[in-house]
Chain A
Amino acid sequence: MAERFQLTLNGAESAIEADPDTSLLYALRNDLQLKGTRFGCGSGRCGACFVLIDGHPAPACDTPLWSVAGKRITTVEGLGSPGALHPLQEAFLAEQAAQCGYCTSGVLISAAALLLENPSPTESEVRAALDRNLCRCGSHNRMVRAVLRAAAKTST
């Protein structure tokens, strides 16, 4: 049976009516029209659907709605907007750090979580922080450079 859930989504109070077992991924994509969080595997192993839950990256595909009631959710749309990009998004553009771009949202989420915790990471810390995100096009090194660029910019 559908229930009503309150959550803080990208900084705003948001309500959604759905079955408690609905995965957060489909609630975001289909009920709230936030398409930036993407389906990749359905079992939390690729990172394409990562969102921040109370500041920590987690796979939305594997997260039932009931478990996030009252929590703070940030999706890629909450990092920045086309007119006011997040420093990470600016750095990804500057480095042209993508090929197909399907994994990008999830990588940005992992990187944002890293920079919240560690504003000046080393290269190997960046790589370790992104190890739960799979990229198939081979854009890894560009994305790592972009994260380091954003870190350098925000920490100065």
Chain B
Amino acid sequence: MNTVTDARLKRSGSLERNPRLSQWLRLERDGMVSVFSGKVEIGQGILTALAQIVAEELGISPARVRMIGADTSLSPDEGVTSGSLSIQDSGSALRRACAHARALLLTRAAERLGVSVDDLQVEDGAVRAAGRSTSFWECTDEALFDCDVREEVSPKSPRDYRIVGIAGRRSDLPDKIAGLPRFIQDMALPRMLHGRVVRPPNGFLELASLDDTKAKSIAGVVAIVRNGAFVGVLAEREDAAIAAQRALRSAASWKEAAALPRDIHAWLKERAIDHRIISEKNDADAKSREAQTLAASYSKPYISHASIGPSCALAQYQGDELIVWSHSQGIFNLRRDLSLALGMPEEAIIVRHAEGAGCYGHNGADDVALDAALLTRAAGSRPVRVQWMRDDEFCWSPCGPAMALELRASLDAGGNVVSWQHDLWSNGHSSRPGRSDSPALLAAWHMAEPHERPSAINMPLPAGAADRNAIPLYDFPNQRVVNHYVREMPVRTSALRSLGAYANVFAIESFMDELAQAAGVDPIAFRLRHLRDPRARAVLEAAAGRANWNGWTAREGSGHGVGFAKYKNLGAYCAVVAEVEVDREVRAKRLFIAVDVGLVINPDGVRNQIEGGAIQSASWTLKEQLKLGERGVAVLGWEDYPILTFSEVPAVEIELIDHPELPSAGAGEGAQGPTAAAIANAVENALGVRVRDLPLTPERIVAAIERQ
């Protein structure tokens, strides 16, 4: 019947794939509620926000909520913790699950107490009526939640929220601030061996020769593992494993990989194989009014995730079963690709999530899990811990793709945009596990029987990937946006926070300023002129107000600029006003940010994510590019990859525009694009010179001045 299909279509968030109530919740004998989410903590505070939603809907204290770490043997499969979707996917599923659970518990309680549900007084899971009492925990048995979540049960009205919307404190921070062992990097299992993998700091094809004499002589080295070009070492002590890794590396020779293109942006434009028009609007009338045409090219380099803590994993065979501990963003997808790489059935592998250092996209977490799994084959039943070294992380984890962009637009005599064209060239922005027939795990491509390396792909619009945010939110009568996809991948690329949105918004918003200047109109007024969406207008106006945009007084070497986007054209609205000072280099002094994520679950969490995203973006924009050698990434340490320091980060002011009546959107990636554009526009405002190639280093600025 049609109604069945309709009901299924309406499933909230991750209930689509995980409809059973028992998949999400369990009431425990100790008065706690165990919550099973497939989303994972990656430094963004998601488990705290999800616990607030659970506590709110169940009507219990947040202290009673125990978030169970994701585990393929326990948790609902919620895909990947990415795309700023966790509140949407997991939050909405948990909200519905908890509303249903509360209704079931109240019905049971009413039966027990012999009254109607309306007569119950309920507080923190304690239920009273007619002088008698019971509790949620007394009313539970195993069968109660063994049913599909009934979405007909209405969740609370946001008007009645007491826990959602307050600045709940992060549940993981007390441990992390006290220095307690909390990270996967801190895990130690009985009889654990330490492993390291031997990879050269540049791209290579295969191992030509390896002399392991010196490594073998190091005290405590247990095994040297070789499987094709995959080479690793196991040792009793971590320092011995590192010493052996170094010895093996200096005694190994590899056949060199093909030379990298010299000018990556020109190369991308030559090598595109798929040219997809992703948006087209035609209005001949408007086109006939074209009075002035501008064109500009922009670019973005390869950018590293550059987490402070290198990737780490543990693995252990328990009988025929392989247990893997990982800080992967997608434990089920990782399990699938481990099974492909190891030739083991998925059912024989359990992947348990453990918290890692900050994660900003597809980093080395999945790769190091396969490294550990391969090394553990030489460890018998002993567990193996592998942590990458700093150069492994910079040279071998996937990076955010380089992009080239060309924009062209025409104004009419009144200074209105009548036509707009945006072309972008890029590799794919996702080569995550779980999406190809071949495992997307580094070591799998180097084994004696190598698997093919899958190409990075783009997820489809409207979220998109390389073309994320390439379609402008402005109302232009003529518009053409083209995504030129490059499959050939000289440097391994995958998802980095905000994907293509960072470069697309940088280009669109830089170009909007160029057009505003040509039209002789204030940049914010120019944007508002082309923007109907009231939430978009509201964040622009709020950021301008915070920054006292109209009260700005021009000073030598100082500038201000604005940037705006609605993330993915689906999510958070964010406008940023940047103030910079430029002497020898650009200093971002202050960022004024207005953001609208709909219903705010945890305002402090949103502020933390937005500010963090903006500062990270300021770092990308001012400093970061992955240095390439002739044949691969040539970054050995932080000396080759500077990021913004404490003295260099801008002050940040944030205005949250709360819309409790609107669905929540994620906050983790909303600020990246707008911040980049705001800084670039502020630099132009300060110097009268437009820098269109990121990052905005002193050399780039000098080059732009010389070009003028």
Q: Which of A19, A39, A77 has the most CB of B within 10 A?
A: A39
Q: Is B423 an interface residue, CB under 8 A from the partner?
A: no
Q: Is A16 an interface residue, CB under 8 A from the partner?
A: no
User: Given A134-B308, A138-B616, A99 and B44 touching (CB < 8 A)?
Assistant: yes
> Which of B375-383, B404-412, B643-651 lies at the binding interface?
B643-651
| B interface: dominant SS | loop
Contact A98 B179, beta carbon cutoff 8 Å: no
Question: Which A residues are in CB contact (< 8 Å) with B652?
Answer: 141
User: Given A42-B390, A96-B173, A96-B608, A81 and B178 touching (CB < 8 A)?
Assistant: yes
User: Given A40-B309, A46-B638, A98 and B177 touching (CB < 8 A)?
Assistant: yes
Contact A139 B608, beta carbon cutoff 8 Å: yes
Question: Which B residues are in CB contact (< 8 Å) with A152?
Answer: none
A121 to B: closest C-beta gap in Å: 12
Interface size class of B (residues with CB under 8 A): 35 or more
Contact B637 A133, beta carbon cutoff 8 Å: no
B432 to A: closest C-beta gap in Å: 20
Question: Which B residues are in CB contact (< 8 Å) with A42?
Answer: 242, 389-390
B358-396 interface with A by 8 A CB criterion:
358-360, 387, 389-390
Q: Is A66 an interface residue, CB under 8 A from the partner?
A: no
Beta-carbon contacts of A121-154 to B below 8 Å, as 1s and 0s? 0001011101101111111111110000000000
Choose from A38, A85, A103, A135 the contact partner of B185 (Cβ within 8 Å).
A38
Q: Is B176 an interface residue, CB under 8 A from the partner?
A: yes
B144-200 interface with A by 8 A CB criterion:
167, 169-170, 172-174, 176-183, 185-186, 188
User: Given A30-B237, A96-B173, A105 and B638 touching (CB < 8 A)?
Assistant: no
Choose from A22, A41, A92 the contact partner of B177 (Cβ within 8 Å).
A92
Beta-carbon contacts of B593-617 to A below 8 Å, as 1s and 0s? 0000000000010001101111110
B496 to A: closest C-beta gap in Å: 12
Q: Is A23 an interface residue, CB under 8 A from the partner?
A: yes
Q: How far is the CA of A19 from the CA of B170 in the complex (A)?
A: 40
Q: How far is the CA of A130 from the CA of B645 in the complex (A)?
A: 8
- By beta carbon, the residue of chain B nearest A61 is B390
Question: Which A residues are in CB contact (< 8 Å) with B639?
Answer: 45
A141 to B: closest C-beta gap in Å: 6
Q: Is B307 an interface residue, CB under 8 A from the partner?
A: yes
B620-678 interface with A by 8 A CB criterion:
637-639, 643-647, 649, 651-652
Q: How far is the CA of A143 from the CA of B181 in the complex (A)?
A: 21
Q: How far is the CA of A17 from the CA of B390 in the complex (A)?
A: 27
- By beta carbon, the residue of chain B nearest A139 is B612
A122 to B: closest C-beta gap in Å: 12
Q: Is A120 an interface residue, CB under 8 A from the partner?
A: no
Question: Which A residues are in CB contact (< 8 Å) with B521?
Answer: none
Q: Which of B172, B239, B306 has the most CB of A within 10 A?
A: B239
Choose from A75, A128, A142 the contact partner of B647 (Cβ within 8 Å).
A128
A99 to B: closest C-beta gap in Å: 5
B191 to A: closest C-beta gap in Å: 13
Contact A127 B646, beta carbon cutoff 8 Å: yes
Question: Which A residues are in CB contact (< 8 Å) with B44?
Answer: 99
- By beta carbon, the residue of chain A nearest B182 is A101
Question: Which A residues are in CB contact (< 8 Å) with B613?
Answer: 138
Q: Is B482 an interface residue, CB under 8 A from the partner?
A: no
- By beta carbon, the residue of chain B nearest A124 is B647
User: Given A48-B309, A137-B358, A99 and B608 touching (CB < 8 A)?
Assistant: yes
Contact A136 B608, beta carbon cutoff 8 Å: no
Contact A96 B604, beta carbon cutoff 8 Å: yes
Q: Which of A79, A80, A104 has the most CB of B within 10 A?
A: A104
Contact A134 B239, beta carbon cutoff 8 Å: no
Q: Is A33 an interface residue, CB under 8 A from the partner?
A: yes
Question: Which B residues are in CB contact (< 8 Å) with A142?
Answer: 608, 611
Contact B43 A99, beta carbon cutoff 8 Å: yes
Contact A140 B649, beta carbon cutoff 8 Å: yes
Q: How far is the CA of A134 from the CA of B183 in the complex (A)?
A: 18
A102 to B: closest C-beta gap in Å: 4
Q: Is B428 an interface residue, CB under 8 A from the partner?
A: no
Contact A102 B357, beta carbon cutoff 8 Å: yes
Q: How far is the CA of A42 from the CA of B310 in the complex (A)?
A: 11
User: Given A22-B239, A137-B612, A96 and B309 touching (CB < 8 A)?
Assistant: no
A130 to B: closest C-beta gap in Å: 4
Q: How far is the CA of A104 from the CA of B612 in the complex (A)?
A: 15
Q: How far is the CA of A137 from the CA of B637 in the complex (A)?
A: 18
- By beta carbon, the residue of chain B nearest A40 is B308
Can you identify 16 A-B contacts, CB atoms within 8 angstroms?
A22-B239, A30-B188, A46-B638, A99-B609, A100-B357, A101-B173, A102-B185, A102-B308, A102-B309, A127-B647, A134-B645, A136-B616, A136-B643, A137-B358, A139-B608, A143-B646
Given contacts A101-B177, A128-B647, 5 further A-B contacts (CB under 8 A): A30-B237, A76-B178, A136-B307, A136-B308, A137-B358
